[in-house]
Structure 1
């Protein structure tokens, strides 16, 4: 299993950053997601489920994303999601935003990627923590860039 927790300050309001995690804006921070369709409950509550399709090269994977936690307070926002990718990886992601000032937000991105079978575990070992660290950094860069340059 690979896990991470990274933090950074983004020079944008908490509301501007939070908007990027809404269904309507998700493509801005996750450009490989081709479909993100609500199929159960509402997007603003725990228990919500989305059908999501993700393109990696020529392959498209479709899976169900479940919202495990959802918090939308004035000075703190949090969304935790979980999904199984390709029957090989169990992925758990948490996005937390903390208001540091009117135009400053602390973005905390944490998660884990666990191989659910031999193939998944082997692929995680081959990809290693270095590769995962690069992916995490690129995602955080994209969130910051979209929030700041909007």
Structure 2
């Protein structure tokens, strides 16, 4: 319902552009925090170093919460395997205490501290909303870029 209301609001009175750079100060990475994944099912393949979580999946690292229907985890190679990448599909939501984003899929590069969200991306920051086809967030700098027929609503406080 929230997505429908925001989409209608965006269509009714949004400024448009091809891409937009925005502040994502609320999306921060706590790289030292463990990543907890909760799901209905887990399949592990030791041969290729992947784990696939399916069914109402929630992945949490510090204040960063990613949800979707499927999360594929890729590990680094070597003796001390660490999580390298999370690929999330199926009704993806990314939430922090200050911001929320929705998309069709997301790739969280844990080592690089970046998140790429694609497919009907919708971001809310308080009363402001931004929509586009693709969004990249740099968790180290707190900046992001939204591309692909970007629509924005910024409340003026009037």
Higher relative contact order (CA 8 A, sep 6+): 1
User: What is the TM-score of this pair, normalised by structure 1?
Assistant: 0.39
- The structure with the greater share of residues assigned to strand is 2
Larger radius of gyration between Structure 1 and Structure 2 = 2
TM-score (norm 2): 0.38
